[in-house]
Chain A
Amino acid sequence: MSRHPTGGIVRGGGPGTVALRVVLFAVLGVFCLYYLVPLFVMISTSVKSLEEIRNGTFLSWPRAITFDAWDKAWSGACVGVRCDGLQPYVWNSVMMAVPAVFLSTTLGALNGYALTKWRFRGADIIFALILFGAFIPFQVILLPMARTLGVMGLAGTVPGLILVHTVYGLAFTTLFFRNFFIGVSDGIVQAAKVDGAGFFGIFFRIVLPMSLPAIVVTVIWQFTQIWNDFLFGVSFTVGDSNPVTVALNNVVNTSTGVKEYNVDMAAAIIAGLPTLFVYVVAGAYFVRGLSAGAIKG
């Protein structure tokens, strides 16, 4: 399931192979640069003083490192008449993202499991119809969704936002789990059925423990999507319950006044840290999870 033992094709000794490996690392290195330059610019700008940013190029190495901008972005930058920085909004995002990721992942797992291991008539059609929901442009559903939330009494609340993210996350989570479970042998489930285990019994005791790779992939995907969402956050929350992306936008997209690029960059990194953290920590499981079947078409 993890890395297969031989790995790769280019192997063995000889000068030709050495040259090949040099080229290999050169190409990999060039691409590392391509991916890293924006991050470098963000970090170096965030630790420069405003003075230095104005006078130098933004690609230059910082001369004197200062964390004032980080401090300001975290707890002092003004969003409207409130000057508490991003701090309170990060908490809003956590309160919104954690339940939404949990719900959509759990429901996606149940869906995928029921659609593959308990195949009933119409399961494929149902799957196809659910999957199509992944492709609906979110701008389209903004107004009907707003009306629905209003009727349900959830307008402008965090539970409302959690509902939205859960509903529109379902398509992708179902896809991920269904593709994973298709790769899981039916034999185990059949055996458990013979032993008299029920739908939920098999799910919790057998299927769920073995689907860790799929859970990792789904959680990473969902967390990234939900944490980074701006459109739903700005439309369905009010003032103090805004998620961090909306607050970031308020800090960065100033309409007038001096642009504090270092604070903007620090704020941007702070807003992106949780997702970065998830990718770095869970990154290794990510590829493993994908190769474990979550992408099998």
Chain B
Amino acid sequence: MFHGNRILPLVAVAGLALGGAARAEPTVEVLHWWTSGGEAKAVGELKNSFEAAGGTWIDSPIAGGGGDAAMTALRARVVAGNPPTAVQLKGPGIQEWAEQGALNDVQDVATAEDWDAVLPPALAAIMKYNGNYVAAPVNIHRVDWIWANPEVLAKAGIEAMPTTWDEFNAAADKLMAAGITPLAHGGQPWQDATIFEDVVLGVGGADFFRKALVELDNDALTSDTMVAAFDQLRKMRGYVDPNFSGRDWNLATGMVMRGEAAFQIMGDWAKGEFLAAGKVPGKDFICAPTPGQGFVLNSDSFTFFKVKGDDNIKGQKLLASLIMSPEFQKTFNLAKGSIPARTDVALDAFDDCAKLSHADLLKAIEADTLVPSMAHEMAVSRSVRGEFLDLVTEFFNSDMSSQDAVQQLADAVKRAM
């Protein structure tokens, strides 16, 4: 269904006119929403390497809403029969588009470079459709981090980072008594859901997380463990300041930096904020996994859409190969604050938090406690995720009981499936 009169990108037309089809230059048009700071720099790296390899890069950045605006544009363009060459698209979203026959595979590149050997199997599975790679991962973000300001902790007499949610609650109560906001948080649905899934991991463990948030097992969703998770979430609601609603996550990070709040629960992109402000990990801020033995995986990837023409196909293959090259994985992730998706890249140049993340990742793969993030579109379809976000954010912003929340959640998930 994706035919119709496609308009070739102007550059491609020019390329054809000048060099002829046989010597088509690799061309990509990349739709992404990394428009600022370390992320924009990271994309800039990719663009530079691509152009150094003789390709033409057309940039289509669309910021806003964690990619919502970009997804709108993507849909309009695929329907118009004019898809971008590569799109910043992740998780089950890749499968959804693949099922529509909208993607090209880059399996020959993946075979030649043996991607299977260097990617965590759980991540590789997400990048494939029918056994062929249709996307290439650029990084691994860990979602279950808790960031803290050691100075503030010391002031309230807290010596160690909490390793259970009970310890967390005890520490938070101490902070409250000392007149400090325990938890810096931004009231946006995805941030609420980030805390929620970290709580689920801590309360129920990795197996329970997988049953409830990935397999959507009805018994798990309505279990007492889930009720306990919501009870903990209700407690967390009491630990945030009154003005949290609608706050961007980086402003919450700023609160921890300035000592206005003690903790923030956020993925490792928060580290970029600390580093940009010249803070030193271990000294000015602490990174520790949230309670619960596991690793909540989030990964950004570029997905290859069905385009035609030698130049575009070449472009896709070149881009895929560049993305997976160890050098790029290193420079990109140094700029973005995440760790390489390839597990075989040396981390010497990285900071201590990244090294901890990498070590925990290998441990989690070993112990089978690596779980995909629900809040960050790695675990379930966008429609189910939407129901989770609606419910969690409604719970967080009202006085709904945990029992009701569990029941409504199970109903909502059933509706969306």
Contact = CB atoms under 8 A, between A and B. Distances in A.
* A contacts B: CB pair < 8 Å: yes
Interface in B218-262: 248, 250-251
Contacts of A252: 63
Q: Would you list the 10 A-B pairs with minimal beta carbon distance, nearest first?
A: A257-B37, A80-B61, A150-B80, A254-B36, A155-B80, A239-B60, A146-B76, A153-B5, A235-B76, A253-B64
A257 B36 contact: yes
Given A81-B43, A257-B250, A240 B58 contact: yes
Given A150-B79, A246-B62, A155 B273 contact: no
Given A151-B5, A155-B7, A239 B29 contact: yes
Contacts of A2: none
B121 interface: no
B53 to A, nearest CB: 16
Given A153-B5, A156-B82, A81 B40 contact: yes
Interface residues of B, number: 46
A53 to B, nearest CB: 13
A146 B38 contact: no
A78 interface: yes
B62 A255 contact: no
Interface in B5-57: 5-7, 9, 29, 32-40, 43-44, 47, 57
Nearest to B336: A256
A258 B38 CA distance: 10
Given A155-B81, A240-B59, 8 more contacts: A81-B59, A143-B76, A235-B72, A238-B29, A250-B64, A255-B35, A255-B36, A257-B40
A253 B82 contact: no
Interface in A132-164: 142-143, 145-147, 149-157
B276 interface: yes
B80 A257 contact: no
B372 interface: no
A94 B57 CA distance: 26
Q: Which of B58, B75, B77, B276 has the most CB of A within 10 A?
A: B77
Interface residues on A, range: 35 or more
A234 interface: yes
B80 A256 contact: no
A64 B211 CA distance: 58
Given A142-B72, A150-B81, A156-B77, A250 B63 contact: yes
Contacts of B248: 259
A249 B47 CA distance: 22
Nearest to A148: B80
Interface in B350-370: none
A257 B72 CA distance: 24
B165 interface: no
Contacts of A143: 75-76, 79
B279 to A, nearest CB: 13
A259 B250 contact: yes
A147 B39 CA distance: 32
A234 B36 CA distance: 18
B272 A257 contact: yes
B156 to A, nearest CB: 25
Contact of A79 (B61, B75, B250): B61
A249 B37 contact: no
23 contacts: A80-B59, A81-B47, A82-B59, A142-B72, A145-B76, A147-B80, A151-B5, A155-B7, A156-B82, A234-B69, A235-B77, A236-B76, A239-B60, A239-B61, A240-B58, A252-B63, A253-B64, A254-B36, A254-B63, A255-B34, A255-B35, A256-B269, A256-B273
A143 B66 CA distance: 21
Contact of A153 (B7, B61, B84): B7
B35 A79 contact: yes
Contacts of B9: 238
Contact of B76 (A142, A152, A157): A142
Interface in A212-259: 231, 234-236, 238-240, 246, 249-259
Contacts of B32: 80
B76 A258 contact: no
A9 B24 CA distance: 77
B73 interface: yes
Contact of A255 (B6, B33, B44, B82): B33
Contacts of B75: 142-143, 146
